[in-house]
Amino acid sequence: MTSPSSSISLTRYLIEEQRAGRINADLRLLIEVVARACKSISIAVGKGALGGVLGDALSAGEASINVQGEAQKKLDVLSNEILLEANAWGGHLAGLASEEMDTSHPIPDVYPRGNYLLLFDPLDGSSNIDVNISVGTIFSVLRCPDGVTRAQDEHFLQPGSAQVAAGYCTYGPSTMLVLTVGHGTHSFTLDREVGGFVMTTRGMTIPEETREFAVNMSNQRFWEAPMQRYVGDLLAGREGPRGKDFNMRWVASMVADVHRILTRGGIFSYPLDSKCAAKGGKLRLMYEANPMAFLVEQAGGAASTGRERMMDVAPTGLHQRVPVFLGSRREVEAAVEYHRAHDAAA
Ligand code: AHG
Ligand code: MN
Ligand code: MN
């Protein structure tokens, strides 16, 4: 880890990655453009009520509902528009896909097309927007299959292990971009006076062991048996089979919860429950679970559905949902073991 005094801007980091042959110019431009869009979103989020950006999005006087069946906030819609507009004309993308759009979005014919596919959750943690709690943006970058210039939904359906870059931007007390291009996970803090991101941690490392878990406990009675047993044992603390006391945190913004885990360790879980079982889970594979899994693995952690390595899941839909366990490696392995033992006994 290094201190902020090393003063490496995001631009310098990306140029050095390009010189080292780890990314090409198009991927560098793509990440710069996403970072610029995140700065715009950060400004909108930061204005809060003064910017008129809080509250629900309306369409024809009614609450606007996205493909997920969830009511959209004004900032969900605005953030999506900012990311679309920023990425349409640069010539580095073959297509985009977003939580807020039913199908993938082609690059308009008036612009050149490139070789990359960008997927994003424009505003993660929507339920926290109106109460001034951290929200974020999550993104994932894939290569467009050879020979495809006009990307369709099917071309995005690649496993997480095919990602060439992933990251998130958290809009909290400070705005931070956390990024991987497959060579470690690094954090950059927005210098608001200068208007640029500056590297603040090179090589984030998640402690292997933890005493902290993140889960929405109100769903406990809807969980599967192995999850009930796993969390039951965490709660039993020092007197239970795990032999130590655990602390709990739940921000309900995945970006904020994962950021805490990348910084000081922990396990994040949104498991299968009987309310979301028909959909496969709550969180979305392509633009929530996979990019976070890439960042977490690159920081020495692990990410699983409870039964399979997250980045090995073969996707079947743009908005596919999955159960999620990620964070400190040994703790994720422990949670997976509860599922393995349960399935073996069954
Ligand atoms: P989004 O705002 O993009 O729809 O995602 C919200 C997600 C995630 O950020 C968070 O971990 C989870 O939903 C919170 O769910 P609960 O409200 O059920 O706790
Ligand atoms: Mn989200
Ligand atoms: Mn969202």
Domain boundaries, the chain: 10-201, 212-345
Whose alpha carbon is nearest atom 14 of ligand 1? 252
**Rounded-to-integer distance, Cα 96 and Cα 87, Å:** 8
Q: Position 9: which residue type?
A: S
Q: In this structure, which ligand is nearest to the CA of 98?
A: 3
Cα of 240 vs centre of ligand 3, distance in Å, is 37
Q: What is the largest CA-CA distance in the chain?
A: 66
State the CATH architecture for 10-201: 2-Layer Sandwich (3.30)
Cα of 81 vs centre of ligand 3, distance in Å, is 13
Structure tokens at 77: 């819609």
State pTM to two decimals: 0.97
Q: Provide the pLDDT for residue 150.
A: 85
Rg (C-alpha) for the chain, rounded Å, is: 20
Whose alpha carbon is nearest atom 11 of ligand 1? 254
Buried b or exposed e, range 238-248, using 16+ CB within 10 angstroms: eeeebeeebee
**Rounded-to-integer distance, Cα 138 and Cα 177, Å:** 10
Q: Which residue ranges have their beta carbon within 6 Å of ligand 1?
A: 70, 99, 121, 124-127, 216, 252-254, 270
DSSP code per residue over 29-49 = HHHHHHHHHHHHHHHHHHHGG
* DSSP SS3 for 126: helix
∠ CA(158), CA(161), CA(166), 5° rounding? 90
Q: Provide the pLDDT for residue 4.
A: 52
**Rounded-to-integer distance, Cα 224 and Cα 70, Å:** 24
Would the CA dihedral through 162, 167, 198, 212 be positive or negative? negative
Cα of 237 vs centre of ligand 2, distance in Å, is 31
Phi, psi dihedral angles at 104 (to 5 degrees): -70, 160
Cα of 127 vs centre of ligand 1, distance in Å, is 7
* DSSP SS3 for 306: coil
Q: Provide the pLDDT for residue 250.
A: 98
Q: Provide the pLDDT for residue 1.
A: 46
Q: Provide the pLDDT for residue 331.
A: 98
How many CB atoms sit inside 10 A of residue 67's CB? 13
Structure tokens at 225: 């048996």
Indicate which atom in ligand 1 lies nearest the CA of residue 70: 4
If the chain, 346 residues long, is cut into consecutive pieces of 10 residues, what is the mean pLDDT of each piece?
68 98 98 98 96 89 86 94 96 96 94 96 96 98 93 97 98 98 98 97 98 98 98 98 98 98 98 95 98 99 98 98 98 98 96
Nearest Cα to 138, choosing from 234, 49, 316, 258?
258
Would the CA dihedral through 149, 320, 125, 81 be positive or negative? positive
Match domain 212-345 to its CATH number in 3.40.190.80, 3.10.180.10, 3.40.50.970, 3.40.720.10: 3.40.190.80
* Residues that place a CB less than 5 A from ion ligand 2: 121, 124
Which residues make Cβ contacts (< 8 Å) with residue 201, sequence separation at least 6? 1, 2, 186, 187
Structure tokens at 291: 């990019």
Q: In this structure, which ligand is nearest to the CA of 126?
A: 1
